[in-house]
């Protein structure tokens, strides 16, 4: 039983992500998946314009198969040569699937610009990490958008990939990341994407159902460890966790809002269209710029807890096989 070899890919991925973050200057598998999605979308719209729902299923299945088959083939080859070579290569793959440092770095760009009073710079920075229209946001709206992004993507971008990698390594992690990328690109409920992105959006909801809830619980447990309010995080989570069109997004947003003592969500514009949303959390105080690093500390603490549990699960499941 080689428990260390089982956990090593996760350890390598976490260490590389904490040091390097997103390698913007290098080819990134997720960006390659994004290009594949764009090209398949163009193909489906041109060849299956009258059957976009079926085309969306075809698009999604094709992306998922390719996204899982490529790392599977590479890892079969590497592990057949040597278990440590396989673990090292899989560790690099896991690194590309984690996004904690990237999430922190991008949100802190908003924080630094806002700290200087540069509202336009903060607006530009937040526009890079949110899907909503940012032109209509005031300074507090910009900060709130950044905090919401950190809260929601703690699950989507960090803990959910870790959970899936603990069960199925980089192959299952890549499968999840491809589904999540499709949702972020074509999973919108507007006229353009309602049909072609329907399957991708539903699949993402299913895949994130359990991770989002476990991540919210991890946030609640870790909130006191980073100087935030764990009791209020639990209370707001219980009350507001379903206040979102998505079955998952409000899980972590409500836990974060409660821990910080601020109110998140509310109406937002997407592609020029107003979307009515309920508020999440109580306005115990006004949101402030310091809430961005606070949200990041909560993200890291919850992610560390999930990582430790996931590593233990992987050691038990995979360590007994190797």
> What's the pLDDT at 319?
61
At residue 265, φ and ψ (nearest 5 deg) are 65, -145
> What's the pLDDT at 49?
75
Strands 279-280 and 264-265 come out as antiparallel
271 falls in which pLDDT band (50, 70, 90)?
Answer: low
Name residue, tokens 């990490």: 129
> What's the pLDDT at 104?
95
* Whether pLDDT at 1 is above 60: no
> Which of 2-11, 62-71, 89-98 is the least confident region?
2-11
The span from the CA of 118 to the CA of 126, in Å, is 12
Mean pLDDT within 277-282: 90
> What's the pLDDT at 88?
95
The whole model's pTM is what? 0.91
Q: For the segment 295-304, what is each residue's pLDDT rounded down to a tens digit?
A: 999 999 999 9
* Whether pLDDT at 265 is above 60: yes
Q: For the segment 104-135, what is each residue's pLDDT rounded down to a tens digit?
A: 999 999 999 999 999 999 999 999 888 778 88
* Whether pLDDT at 141 is above 70: yes
- 25: Cα within 13 Å, side-chain hemisphere: 1
Cα angle 281, 269, 192 (rounded to 5 degrees) comes to 125
Mean pLDDT within 175-204: 91
> What's the pLDDT at 318?
74
Mean pLDDT within 26-31: 81
* Whether pLDDT at 67 is above 80: yes
Q: How far is CA 43 from the centre of its chain?
A: 27
Q: 269 - beta bridge partners?
A: 274
* Whether pLDDT at 322 is above 70: no
152 falls in which pLDDT band (50, 70, 90)?
Answer: very high
> What's the pLDDT at 208?
96
26 falls in which pLDDT band (50, 70, 90)?
Answer: low
Q: Which residue has the higher pLDDT, 3 or 116?
A: 116
The span from the CA of 149 to the CA of 171, in Å, is 26
Percent of the chain at pLDDT above 90? 77
50 falls in which pLDDT band (50, 70, 90)?
Answer: confident
The span from the CA of 174 to the CA of 311, in Å, is 18
The mean pLDDT value of the chain amounts to 92
């Amino acid at each position: 039983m080689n428990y260390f070899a089982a956990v090593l890919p996760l350890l390598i991925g976490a260490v590389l992500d904490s040091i390097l973050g997103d390698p913007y200057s290098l080819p990134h598998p997720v960006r390659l998946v994004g290009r594949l999605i764009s090209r398949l979308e163009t193909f489906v719209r041109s060849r299956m314009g009258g059957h976009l729902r079926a085309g969306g299923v075809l698009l999604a299945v094709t992306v998922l198969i390719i996204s899982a088959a490529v790392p599977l083939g590479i890892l079969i080859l590497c592990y057949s040569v040597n278990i440590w070579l396989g673990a090292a290569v899989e560790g690099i793959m896991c690194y590309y699937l984690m996004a904690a440092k990237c999430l922190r770095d991008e949100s802190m760009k908003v924080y630094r610009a806002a700290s200087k009073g540069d509202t336009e710079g903060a607006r530009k920075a937040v526009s890079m990490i949110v899907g909503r229209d940012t032109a209509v946001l005031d300074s507090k709206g910009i900060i709130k958008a950044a905090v919401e992004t950190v809260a929601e993507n703690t699950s989507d971008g960090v803990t959910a990939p870790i959970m899936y990698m603990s069960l199925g390594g980089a192959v299952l992690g890549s499968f999840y990341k491809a589904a999540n990328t499709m949702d972020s690109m074509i999973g919108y409920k507007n006229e353009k994407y309602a049909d072609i992105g329907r399957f991708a959006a539903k699949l993402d909801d299913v895949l994130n159902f359990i991770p989002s809830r476990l991540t919210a619980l991890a946030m609640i447990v870790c909130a006191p460890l980073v100087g935030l309010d764990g009791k209020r995080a639990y209370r707001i989570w219980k009350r507001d966790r379903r206040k979102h069109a998505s079955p998952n997004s409000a899980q972590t947003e409500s836990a974060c809002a409660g821990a910080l003592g601020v109110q998140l969500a509310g109406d937002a514009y997407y592609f020029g269209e107003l979307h009515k949303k309920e508020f999440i959390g109580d306005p115990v105080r006004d949101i402030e710029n310091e809430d961005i690093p606070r949200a990041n500390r909560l993200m890291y603490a919850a992610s560390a807890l999930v990582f430790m549990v996931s590593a233990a699960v992987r050691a038990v499941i995979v360590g007994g096989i190797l």
